[in-house]
Structure 1
């Protein structure tokens, strides 16, 4: 069972046991074994121009006693997180999402240097099935596809009129147990559960951000 704790400036997801996590998180990316996934909320005062972010974040994780965990950074208010759980044919997938869209982009193009704080989409996806590493990679692609679909469904536009597909600093951490499940594509129960959990969580977060900030992401110039 996942236990979610908000202790500003941290949001902490305790997975209930050690799991194999695949991510491109700034702290412990790639395949790693961890029990917790953490979000660290940041603000302008934290990210000064001369800051060594990697060293600073390492120190923050150490102070939190989390050097063996997975860590992500966001400027989105971590109190505005969304959790969705979907079960299909006995396979349960939970997605916890923080969705900031201030540095939104359209895939295949880029607008330039984002402002700080930029906001980002950070996802923790937890699967209650045992997967091969290959299936875990496939599940990560389904999560990414679902995130993109949800952002596009939101109707968010960039300042140049293009439809947003994500942000420049999105991050996904996908946790499962090692096992023999080999496939996680859209034709499978695992793919369906993963896709719906992520799509619903990101959709809720995107709607929340747009209600607060409007339907055009124009925080920095084209």
Structure 2
């Protein structure tokens, strides 16, 4: 069972917790370590963010006007109705993930940067049911990022330099209860790391498959031939 409620009223997707959570992200408007009860996505279109628009100010203004000024903010060109959620439990550790996935500006890590041909990004919230220290949140963020990358690689979406590993504008938020003694470790050999990885992988894989199916129907299919049957 997810630790947060989800509401989707375009152009906003909001995950809301009953109590404040410790969060870590590279959100455009509220990066780093923060305490918040909400994570909010804003769906934007190409015309919203022209070359003369301050994206940070635009996002903050829109979120504040909608009553989400105190949330951790995410921004995506993916219609927020196309979100996926997943949960996982191992032992007494649990985790939940909410994700939106678009691969329009996908790339491969280590490749030379290129201008995005199309809009498209991955935004996700990964929540751990146990409190985490700052070090634990940092490790949880690394696990969520690894799980995101594993899911995208398993989708086999092709870019110029090989199979995509993410996009140039991804953003990940990790969260955990703000009260209680925090767990320091959240790596691959812990129950916490296992549930975060499982929830993120499952949500991103499902959301990515949905996006790929849309591209297939639009005639923009770029999946590796050997993997096509796996995605169906």
TM-score in terms of structure 2 length: 0.89
SS at 1:129 equivalent: coil
Structure 1 residue 111: deviation in Å?
4.5
In structure 1, runs of 5+ residues without a counterpart are 218-222
Structure 1 residue 180: deviation in Å?
2.7
Aligned counterparts of 2:101 and 2:182: Cα–Cα separation in 1: 32
Structure 1 residue 207: deviation in Å?
0.7
Partner of 1:42: 44
How many residue pairs are counted as aligned between the two chains? 215
Partner of 1:163: 163
Partner of 1:220: none
> Contact 2:78–2:101 at 8 Å: present in 1 too?
yes
Q: Kindly tell me: are residues 76 and 110 of structure 1, through their superposed partners in 2, closer, same or farther at Cα, counting changes over 3 Å? A: farther
> Contact 2:108–2:161 at 8 Å: present in 1 too?
no
Partner of 1:105: 107
Alignment of 1:61-210 (within 5 A): 61-115=63-117, 118-158=119-159, 160=160, 162-178=162-178, 179-210=181-212
SS at 1:131 equivalent: coil
> Contact 2:11–2:79 at 8 Å: present in 1 too?
no
Aligned counterparts of 2:177 and 2:16: Cα–Cα separation in 1: 14
Kindly indicate whether residue 18 of structure 2 is the aligned counterpart of residue 16 of structure 1. yes
Aligned counterparts of 1:65 and 1:75: Cα–Cα separation in 2: 21
Partner of 2:222: 216
More helix by share: 2
TM-score in terms of structure 1 length: 0.93
Structure 1 residue 49: deviation in Å?
2.0
> Contact 2:129–2:176 at 8 Å: present in 1 too?
yes
Structure 1 residue 77: deviation in Å?
1.2
SS at 2:67 equivalent: coil
In structure 2, runs of 5+ residues without a counterpart are 224-232
Aligned counterparts of 1:154 and 1:106: Cα–Cα separation in 2: 13
SS at 2:131 equivalent: strand
Structure 1 residue 115: deviation in Å?
4.0
Structure 1 residue 45: deviation in Å?
1.8
Aligned counterparts of 2:171 and 2:93: Cα–Cα separation in 1: 23
Cα shift readout 1:130-164 (whole Å, capped 9, x = no counterpart): 11110110011000000000000001101x25110
